[in-house]
Amino acid sequence: MRHWRPSPPCPSPAYARQPTAAPGAFDLPPDEAAAAVAPAPVVVSPCSHRKSHCHIRRMGAPLQAAFVLAARRPFIEEPPQVLNIRICGNSFPKRLVIFYSRSEVVHLVHLPVVRRPREKRVPVPQQLSTPVVASSVLVPQRPPSIAVAVVAPLCSASGRRRREQSTEQPPTHPRGAMSVAFVGADGLSLKLAASFLRSGARVRCFVPEADRPRPASAALEQVDLDGLLRCASPAEAARDAALVIVLTDADVVDDLFFGAEGIAKGLCAGSVVLIQSTLLPSQLEKLGQKLADEKKDVFLMDGYIFSGLSDELKQQIVVIASGRQDVTERARQFFHGLDKTVYFAEGEFCTSSTIRVVNDLLEGIHFVASIEAMYLGVRAGIHPSIIYDIISNAAGSSRIFVELVPKLMSEDPLLIDFLNSAKKNASRVMDMAKSVTFPLPLLGAAYQQLIHGSSAVIGGGSASPLKVWEAAFGVNIVDAASQQIYDASKLADQLVMESKAAKRIGFIGLGAMGFGMASHLLKSGFYVVAYDVYEPTMARFADLGGSTKGSPEEVAKDVEILIIMVANEFQADSVLYGNAGAVPVLSTGTSVILSSTVSPGFMIRLNRRLEAECREIKLVDAPVSGGVKRAADGTLTIMASGTDEALHCTGSVLSVLSEKLYIIKGGCGAASSVKMVNQLLAGVHIASAAEAMAFAARLNLRTRRVFEILQHARGYSWMFGNRVPHMLDNDYTPYSAVDIFVKDLGIVSCESSNSRIPVHVSSIAHQLFISGSASGWGRYDDAAVVKVYETLTGVKVEGKPPMISKEDVLNSLPAEWPEDPIDDLVSIASRSNKKILVVLDDDPTGTQTVHDIEVLTEWTVEALVEQFLKLPTCFFILTNSRSMTCDKAMLLVQTICRNLEAAAKNVPGVSYTVVLRGDSTLRGHFPEEADAAVSVLGEMDAWIICPFFLQGGRYTINDIHYVAESDRLIPAGETEFAKDAAFGYKSSNLRQWVEEKTKGRVSENQVSTISITLLRTQGPNAVCQHLCSLEKGSVCIVNAASDKDIAVFASGMIQAELKGKRFLCRTAASFVSARIGIKPKPPICPNDLGLKRALTGGLIVVGSYVPKTTKQVDELRSQCGQSLRVIEVSVEMVSMKSTEDRDQEISRVIEVGNACIQSRKDTLIVTSRQLITGKTPEESLEINYKVSSALVEIVRRIDSKPHYIIAKGGITSSDIATKALEARRAKVMGQALAGVPLWQLGPESRFPGVPYIVFPGNVGDSSALAEVVRNWASSSRSSTKELLLNAEKGGYAVGAFNVYNLEGIEAVVAAAEAEKSPAILQIHPSALKQGGVPLVACCVAAAEQSSVPITVHYDHGTSKSDLLQALEMGFDSVMVDGSHLTLGENILFTKCISSLAHAKGLLVEAELGRLSGSEDGLTVDEYEARFTDVAQAEGFIDDTGIDALAVCIGNVHGKYPPSGPALRMDLLRDLRALTLKKGVSLVLHGASGLPHVLVKHHGVDTSSHYRLDR
């Protein structure tokens, strides 16, 4: 909700006509306003768009004063505002509320001024505020003001058009007040009516006799209905009403609407009807159609009105309305500004009533579960008040339980109404389920119980259900409640004060809960010796300073208290009495605390067994509740029972472990009975949550929205709030497994059977958990019981974010600012060339959008002075603070800022702006780092928040920050990034995000915004003006959807800086490049850096855990699996195991990694993909540190110099650069891929010159990492085509040498490496016959290991069969020699081989013309030689598709005659021109006999580029 602060009184009329600092606030001086206003209604209407102000016209009695709203601007729809108009210098007895939109007449409604504290606002909960952009009416004490409430919901352009097409205005009463009608009433609707009355509306109501509330209702007695007009018929109530709220049942709705005096008779044009009923959706649709047929200009909405019960909405009336978007938006104005009322538009017609159905399902199940739990607990001997007090604050609590149980214990007469309402609602839900063919086993059983409970009849009327339940359960709960009560928590307090001290504790069972409990005892000063069957857990405990033993027997020796925290009764019995059990060695007087969830019967039997030992061994029944985190924090809820002596001996330990400790009278078994009741309710509530959410999915509701709404409703339970998020996220990481409730509800089933208590609903829930376990989900989180419903019905409960089309949203925005501000940026910056942008980067990925910028990894004053002296436009300081704890990050930022201040003083004239570059998905230490910077640099004029990052798909639109996923936009708060263990958040709206992260220190209404509309329609000057108008210390959000938007903002910001303004920026990477005017350049490839041929493999290190990274790693393995060596680092080994295990794992990875890189294998070192998090953000950061430090050590100890290095993840890339590679500075060369920086490390680093690619964890699609690896991969060898193309570009010839043995191969390669020249190894057919496959293999191996490009060529293939064999032997290219054939035969022969070779990726050379001379036994007489004909050559190339042409210009094989070579250089030039034209290489055989001078002169100096055979 946005609130705008009223502006101060204005000094002059001229000032009054200008906008003040508070958007939408204007003042009117006395000469433009009268001192009083007549009670006549006033309507303010927008004038033509060609004008920029409004006119006021009168209706009814004349006004004594006219008001001119001198806005000097047209109406706008964003941002939504509260416009305050103050009558300066005069008292003003009325409050005027004005509703307007672009096309609708604006209504001024006279309301009495209500004296309230200054700026008291109606709160709107965060959960409901995202789709409802509303503003509250401010009612300041002095001077009074006119509050203009403008409601402008975020909607598409098409949505606005639909809204604008509705031209009818809400009807008002003849005297000006809005008229509201209520037909049907209950306590809640009467409270809503009272709220309307307080707002000044005229309210009428018709209440059927049967619906009239009981006069004795205490709630209604508090409702002030003064002014309510009671009507004799629905038609009378609805007459002339702008809003009609109808509450009715299905059986009377037709008569209520269409009877002789029905609602339809009184409805006027433009009326909105909001109906809350028991109608099914199909019935509602028919009602809507019938009403439309009879009253075409009336609008019907479906409603769900309930009392908010959450802490956020306590005592608020929540109105959920659904229908056509234009209708729900039209209705919003009626509810806007009502005190204690929240209006929420949700979905299409019938959505609201369908959400109510889901709530009713939960209410019905919770009702019956509460009955079963209470009677079972009372039957077990527990006082009902004790059960109520404990369960109300435990995991088994629900709002129905809290409301129902007191009525149950006191035999409240309203219990009958409660029961009948639950039964009626459950019947409707069952009908709905039947209509959509969906099974509701829990509600089905509950419904039968509700029917049974309402079956008691006395004198023809319903009697209290207590009689029915007393007969069924054999317990009179009212009598039980009247028994003497005790305070279980006070007994606990008394126990703790009187308990005996104990120091030596034995602990058996270090599971999730047990480990936390044992470690907390250790921290609290107890000596703890522990045992668990899982040795790694014992090693962890030993690392904390605890003592461990090899068996329960060893643990139990000489301890004062033995705590058992195992999974079930079997394990408890085993550790006490099994092989090497504890009981035989327990000292006399030892106390045993059993904290496992077991049956009361087991505790009773165990106590008897221990008493039979006759060693005064004392047993305490002490089940716990609260979860893993509370166990570690010592804040569990513990129910304890046993003898007084046993409790006194253990009280000190129980107190340390608990936040809430209850002492239950009744001896061993009593506490387990209370825990059993809690588990009954908890298990049923989880299962009912699964049934409800699956049913919601079948009803096509947005499950996440249903969850958010029902958090405030009556059907909520603790388990619903805790477990449904797991279902929505499809995340079943076990906190409490399905199998636990198989066990716990099994205990309920067994004990209820023994007590002869029927528990129908909990038995069904038990079967659901058993079904889940049988399906293989037993070890999943217990929320996975929803998968039973999903599997059975085919629905998916997972609450995927709403589909927002990226294309539609971006297309709906105004056109971009027409000018390119980047050039202006450069010229403006040149005027202040000593203003340097210093970017403190919390991980290395901030260099994603820049190039030719330096990065420092050290920040001494000397290093900073050196950098300032260079006068760069910008430089980065890599802080890597995101990997640190908050305190360390703040200290680091303060240190750097102090050093910057000191360095700047040493360089005359230098000034700088600090940018805190953070994550574009809003993770990081905000506002702590900003606070740290300000504490050193002084208060800034404003903090700039700008997380836009185009390459990563991050957009900020209407203050909502989005993450693009494929073709849709997802609010950032609904992505996996918002669930970050260390930096998680809820808000997608950046103003709310600021309030959330600052913990309310900066409220959202204090956050200023620069909209996309301003950037695109008013440009940099407007940005400058806005920034200059901000109050000192403001926070400003920058919206952006393109790089142009950021450039416009940056230009305006520079203008403001030139005027002396100082800003601290918290931004993503895009802002930096825009701010310094860097224009993007294409991604860099290895050739751009002039890298030599790789002799080693590349190194890819992956530490990031975001789901996107995991997908990218999977795709990399899929695409590059054959050429990639994957080494997985066990996260558990390096972060959770012993130091020895950690060192062993690191050494293993180093050894394998070195070998792979040395053998020219691209090597992926990746952490295991199972995410391990700590119990707190600090513990999660500690685990991250251990993993990162392990990767650092691995890379630091790898000796083989990689061809390139890719580091995936911000923390990973920073630590590897600074710690493993020891780089103190680097230069950003550009990007290897959009958003993926490529660094050149400084000469001081371990591997200078090696490209270092910083790959962020959250950038790119699933194939992005594979694409970068393919671009930089160490290829086995160059192809002949690449070799010749490079020669073409470089202006040199490539030598081709015939080889016959290993010595010849070594000689050619050695010479090529010495000359740093590429070469071709040729094998003649005769040599191949002698050397065979081994000769080819030697050539290929030599080519692969060479440091210069070498390829292997099959020369002079004259036989088709020989050529076909050569194609399969590993050659890079082949020569098809058909020179002995006629031209036609040569073409056919060459074309055949060419097509086959090209299919295998081989280059094809062919010969046209014929050389004389001898080569490898082949002799061609001089008379047979033929020069190459240029005309024939052109046709030959076209017909055969060859890649290289060997020609004859007088060159010969072997020795030239004594007179020397007679070369036709003119023919060579013509042939060269032809091959250039055709794009083929030119080959000259017979170069071995040519003089060196001739080769150099004609081969290079004439720029003729050949392959020369020698």
Label residue 74 exposed, middle or buried (CB < 10 Å: 0-12, 13-18, 19+).
middle
In the numeric block, which tokens belong to residue 655? Answer: 């107190």
**Helical (H) or strand (E) element with 1418:** strand 1418-1420
What are 715's two structure tokens?
């059907």
**Among 1042, 1059, 857, which residue's Cα sits nearest to residue 950?**
1042
Task: Provide the CB-side half-sphere exposure for 57 (13 A, CA).
Answer: 6
Extract the tokens encoding 1150. Answer: 């180093």
- Distance, in Å, from the CA atom of 532 to the CA atom of 1081, rounded to the nearest integer, reads 59
Q: Are 1306 and 1297 a contacting pair, CB within 8 Å?
A: no
Helix (H, G, I), strand (E, B) or coil at 870: coil
DSSP letter (8 states) at residue 82? E
Contact 474, 498 (CB under 8 A): no
Rounded Cα gap, residues 901 and 891, in angstroms = 15
Is 675 among the residues known to form the active site? yes
Cα(298)–Cα(251) distance, integer angstroms: 23
Q: What is the DSSP string of 455-474?
A: T-EETTEE--THHHHHHHHS
Q: What is the largest CA-CA distance in the chain?
A: 139
> Cβ distance 651 to 675 under 8 Å?
no
What is the residue whose two structure tokens read 């992956």? 1102
Determine the Cα–Cα distance for residues 25 and 85; give it in Å rounded to an integer.
7
Backbone angles phi, psi at 737, to 5 degrees: -80, 160
Map 1132-1194 to HEC letters.
Answer: HHHHCCCHHHHHHHHHHHHHHHHHHHHCCCEEEEEECCCCCCCCCHHHHHHHHHHHHHHHHHH
191, 618, 675, 1219: the catalytic one is 675
CB-based burial of residue 647 (10 Å sphere; 0-12 exposed, 13-18 middle, 19+ buried)? buried
Element (H, E) at 107: strand 106-112
Angle, helix 414-435 to helix 399-410, in steps of 10 degrees: 140
Q: How far apart are CA 302 and CA 297, in angstroms?
A: 17
Tally the C-alpha atoms within 13 A of residue 705's C-alpha that lie toward its C-beta.
20
H runs (alpha helix) in 499-636: 512-523, 535-543, 552-556, 569-577, 600-612, 628-633
Strands 1205-1208 and 1251-1255 turn out to be parallel
Question: b/e string for 527-547 if b means 16 or more Cβ within 10 A?
Answer: bbbbbbeeeebbbbbeeeebb
Distance CA 392, CA 678 (A): 10
The rounded Cα 1088 to chain-centroid distance in angstroms is 37
Q: How far is CA 1477 from the centre of its chain?
A: 56
In degrees, rounded to 5, the angle at the alpha carbon of residue 343 between the alpha carbons of residues 340 and 345 is: 170
The DSSP result for 285-340, as a single string, is: HHHHHHHHHH-TT-EEEEEEEEE--STTTTTPEEEEEES-HHHHHHHHHHHTT-TT
317-322, strands of its sheet edge to edge: 229-230, 202-206, 179-183, 243-248, 272-277, 299-307, 317-322, 341-345
Residue positions annotated with a catalytic role? 675
